[in-house]
Each structure stands twice: as structure tokens, then as C-alpha cells.
Chains A and B, each alone.
Chain A
């Protein structure tokens, strides 16, 4: 009865109300920010006394914002590519390999995901100071790659485990070389896993704040670092404008993911 929505009786409305309120609680901040980014109040008064596009103009007029976004994008794309490639090979080892300690290795690959990021950030900061990678493009990529790899390994391993290897064997029996079989049969079959790995890796890098705060230099900073440093000074509506654009970007990515999922079902 409790698991039949139509037979919850009076409870149904209490529970639906709670769900609606929580949904609003989750949605409202995002909506408010979007509204405020068009308001003309420097002090973020709501409802705004008037509407303006000034904060968006300010945002695009400041080359440091664009530069930070460009830096973030380049780093995130590099991380995505490396993370999927490394993740694919690691997943092949984890699902197809037969060697001692495979389960230990699997657990090890996931560890960066469950450790507090601040520990890794401080540790990498110290390490990069020593070897001169701090504040460099390569340093950012390596640090974010460590954080993104677990997501890649999980997504691709799951997809590989759901793929029946005998199909690949059948391709080989049909005359394909082992590598040809992998490229033509296995890769297309696990493409949803590869895609998920790519999206997760991109987002991990694109949104990453903590490591970036430590690694950033005055000449190289990512978008989250730029938001962070601006936030520490004041709550200017320019951040609302930047945040709104980020939310739109997120929605676009979600729609893309949904479309790809739908396309794959067909």
C-alpha cells in the first residue's frame, strides 16, 4: 500500500507537498540567481527595482573572465580526452585482464573520488611547488585528471561488464583481427559508457574549485577560481550573470546527454 501511489490516501498529499517543497528548495536558488542577473540593483535587492543587461556587459567587457573561461575549457577538454583514453585502457585491464590483485587495483582507481579533495589539493600543491608544475597548464591537467579518472573507470567498466565478450569473439571468428574487433564491435557497443565518462570528466574539471584555488597563479586561473576570488571581495551581480551562463551551459549538457541516451536506445 505504501508503495502504491494511488492508494496512499491522505498521506499522498502530505508527501507530495514535501516533495514539491524540496523541489522548490532545490530549484529556487538557481532561479533567483538568474532573475537577479537581470536586475539593476547593485545590492541584489529582490524583486529588483528595474531590469538591465549591465552585468552581462560588464562580464563580457572584462577580458579576465573570458580568459578564465577559455583556460577552463582548454583544461577540461584535455582532461576529458586523456581521462577517457586512460580510463578505457584501465577498464579493459579491470574487466578483461586476469591477474592477481585486480580487485585491489579496482579499489585503488576509485580512491581519488572518495578522499576529501582538500587533502589532495594541499598534497598536490606541495608536490607541484617542488617539481615546478604549480600554476602551469600541465599541472592543472594532471591534477584534474587524477580527480576525473575514477568517474571514467567506473562508467567504462560498467559498460564493459554489461557487454557480452562472446560478441567480440564472434567478430574474431568472422575474420576480424582482435584489435579490429575491439574497434568495430566493442567500442560502438560501449559508446554510452564512453560518453558518460566524457561528460563526467569534463564536468569534474570544469567545475573543480579546491585544487584550482591552490594551483592558480595570477597569470593562469580557471573560471571557478575567478568566481572564487571575486566572491571573496564582494557579492557583485556580475557573478550572478556568470552563474546564470554556467547554469545554461549545464542545462545544455544535460539535454545533450538526454538526447544521446535517447538516440542510443533506438
Chain B
């Protein structure tokens, strides 16, 4: 960390702040201004202007139990997905950091393959696997664990499984980096100080990995809040989530005011969580999603 700060500081002091060089950014800047800022601001404006000026849309959004249930669903599913991803992802990230490189590269390749495979292909796979006559239900019934097929799809269980599948790599990859950066000698020292394995884990390794856990968890949570495809396909119409609701307002109901208002709520929550992340860990980690 300190080396990074030093080089940046040195780089900054060398050149005085002026105006040169900014023109190179102009094409990208114009693109984003016209096709990103203008549309988003336009949408948000419509939330307070349509059908009539005022905060009526927001009052409806927060006053109706239907919409509140959707918010609640979204937060609940996101929280469960985040918790599952962290709990399942931690041991994998840990092993990935210390395994013999031959094995680690196999796990790594699987992670990348899963991450890079088309989102719809992956979601389709889960739709097939989780259906009433799907492999999972049939296996469980053959094993005698259940008599009736479980309802695993068209409900929040399906959404949670599908989303956890998609989010796992986003926890594992950054967390692996954080664990790899921990000096093994610190764990050796803890052991010699008399700490059992369990004490080493709970008192040293987990606390030291916590920044990575928190960064990964926040990222997964915020991505889950706005996720559209997987909830729409695995959740069914009865268990709508926030992103789907926004799409419905616009596509089916052609209610731009409500759509804009719901989008604004999602936007504000997202930015708040990223704000927390920036506060906690600085800007360095934002780029890790790439």
C-alpha cells in the first residue's frame, strides 16, 4: 500500500496541475454524457414530472404493501445470496490461495469458465436442473430423501440458488487475493503463541481477511439488488424482485413515472453502498469487478 501511495505522490508532485491532456478524454466523455448521464437524469426527472409534478410516484411506491413486499423480497434474497456466497466462498478462496498451483489452476479455470459462460446459458441450466422432473428432484427422490418433488423453481429458492451460483466467483476471486497477501509467518507466530487451529482461524485469519470479505460481500449485495435476468427466469411472476418491477412498469404498464421512481430508489441504494465501500476501503478495490 505505502509503495503505491508513494509513487502516486511522486508522480503528482512532478507535474504541476494544469489543463493539458484532457482533450484525449473528450470522445469518451461526450459518449457518456449523451448516452449515459442524459438518459439517466431524464428518467429520474420523469419520476417527479409524470403523470404530474410532485412526489406522488414515491408516495405510491412506499405506500403500497405490494411494492413494499417486492423491496423486502429483493433485500432478503440479496442478503441470503450474499451470506451464502461468503460462507461457501471463504473456504474456496482460502484453498485457492494456498493449494499446490497445479490444483489451484484447475479450480481457477472452472471459476473463469463459469464466470465467462453466457448468463442466459447458465440460468437456463438451472431452470432445467431445478424443474419438478429435473435431475436434482429425481436424484433426491431416488435416494429416498423426499417423496414428492420439491418446488425449486418459480420461487425464491430457485432465485437464491441461481444467484449464488452467479455471485460466487465475485466473492472468491477478490478474497483469494486478500488471503494470498497475508504473510504465512503471521499464522506460524500465532500457532507458536499457543493458539489452536480454531483460534488461529477465528482470531487471526478471518480478522485479517475481513477487508476482502466485506468488499466482496458489499459487491455481491449491490449486484444482487439490481439483478434482472436470473430472478425473472427462476423466480416466476409471483416473486418479483426490484429490477423486474422496474422493467414491468416501463414495458407492460408504460408507467414511466413509477418506473423512474423505482429506478431512482435502486440507484440511491446502490450508490450509498458503494459510498460505504469507498469509505471503508478506498478507491483501490472498485476496479476489481473487472
Using a CB–CB distance below 8 Å, which chain A residues touch chain B?
1-5, 9, 11, 15-16, 18-19, 22-23, 25-30, 32-33, 36, 43-46, 86-87, 89-90, 92-94, 96-100, 102, 105, 107-127, 142-143, 145-146, 149-151, 153-155, 158, 200, 203, 207, 209-210, 213-214, 224, 227-228, 231, 235, 239-240, 242-243, 246-247, 250-251, 253-254
The 9 closest A-B pairs by CB, nearest first: A97-B21, A116-B226, A29-B125, A243-B121, A93-B25, A127-B39, A93-B24, A123-B39, A3-B184
- Residues in B whose Cβ lies below 8 Å from that of A33: 121, 124-125, 128
- Residues in A whose Cβ lies below 8 Å from that of B96: 19
Query: B73 near A: Cβ within 8 Å?
Result: no
- Residues in A whose Cβ lies below 8 Å from that of B119: 207, 209, 224
CA of A116 to CA of B243 in the docked complex: distance in angstroms? 8
Per DSSP, chain A at the interface is helix
A119 touches B246 (CB 8 A): yes
With A32-B128, A96-B21 as contacts: A250 and B40 at CB distance below 8 Å:
no
- Residues in B whose Cβ lies below 8 Å from that of A231: 120, 124, 127, 233
A90 touches B25 (CB 8 A): yes
A-B contact count (CB 8 A): 291
CA of A211 to CA of B99 in the docked complex: distance in angstroms? 40
B228 touches A118 (CB 8 A): yes
With A92-B21, A123-B43, A224-B120 as contacts: A11 and B182 at CB distance below 8 Å:
no
With A110-B287, A154-B287 as contacts: A235 and B25 at CB distance below 8 Å:
no
B228 touches A30 (CB 8 A): no
With A89-B25, A97-B24, A209-B119 as contacts: A146 and B197 at CB distance below 8 Å:
no
> What is the CB-to-nearest-CB distance from B238 to chain A, in angstroms, rounded to a whole number?
16
With A118-B243, A118-B247 as contacts: A209 and B229 at CB distance below 8 Å:
yes
Count chain A CB atoms within 10 A of each CB in B25, B96, B182, B225 and give the residue with the most.
B25
A4, A97, A203: the one contacting B184 at CB < 8 Å is: A4
B187 touches A240 (CB 8 A): no
Using a CB–CB distance below 8 Å, which chain B residues touch chain A?
15-29, 31-32, 35-36, 38-40, 42-43, 46, 88-89, 91-92, 94-100, 106-107, 109-114, 116-122, 124-129, 131, 133-135, 138, 165, 168-169, 179, 182, 184, 187-188, 190-191, 197, 200-201, 204-205, 222, 225-229, 233, 243, 246-247, 250-251, 256, 259-260, 263, 266-267, 270, 274, 283, 286-287, 289-290
- Residues in A whose Cβ lies below 8 Å from that of B112: 254
CA of A153 to CA of B24 in the docked complex: distance in angstroms? 12
- Residues in A whose Cβ lies below 8 Å from that of B111: 26
- Residues in B whose Cβ lies below 8 Å from that of A239: 124
A98 touches B246 (CB 8 A): no
With A105-B29, A149-B31 as contacts: A97 and B42 at CB distance below 8 Å:
no
- Residues in B whose Cβ lies below 8 Å from that of A4: 98, 184, 187-188
B110 touches A100 (CB 8 A): no
CA of A259 to CA of B167 in the docked complex: distance in angstroms? 27
- Residues in B whose Cβ lies below 8 Å from that of A109: 28, 32
The contact sample of 6 A-B pairs, CB cut-off 8 A, is A19-B99, A26-B168, A118-B266, A209-B229, A246-B121, A250-B116
A26 touches B110 (CB 8 A): yes
- Residues in B whose Cβ lies below 8 Å from that of A235: 124, 127-128, 131
CA of A22 to CA of B246 in the docked complex: distance in angstroms? 33
A99 touches B127 (CB 8 A): no
- Residues in A whose Cβ lies below 8 Å from that of B134: 44, 46
- Residues in A whose Cβ lies below 8 Å from that of B19: 99-100
CA of A251 to CA of B116 in the docked complex: distance in angstroms? 9
CA of A98 to CA of B17 in the docked complex: distance in angstroms? 5
CA of A145 to CA of B233 in the docked complex: distance in angstroms? 26
What 12 new A-B contacts, CB under 8 Å, besides A102-B22, A122-B260?
A: A2-B200, A26-B114, A46-B138, A86-B31, A98-B20, A99-B21, A119-B267, A120-B40, A123-B263, A127-B43, A146-B31, A146-B32
CA of A153 to CA of B98 in the docked complex: distance in angstroms? 32
A114 touches B274 (CB 8 A): yes
B228 touches A127 (CB 8 A): no
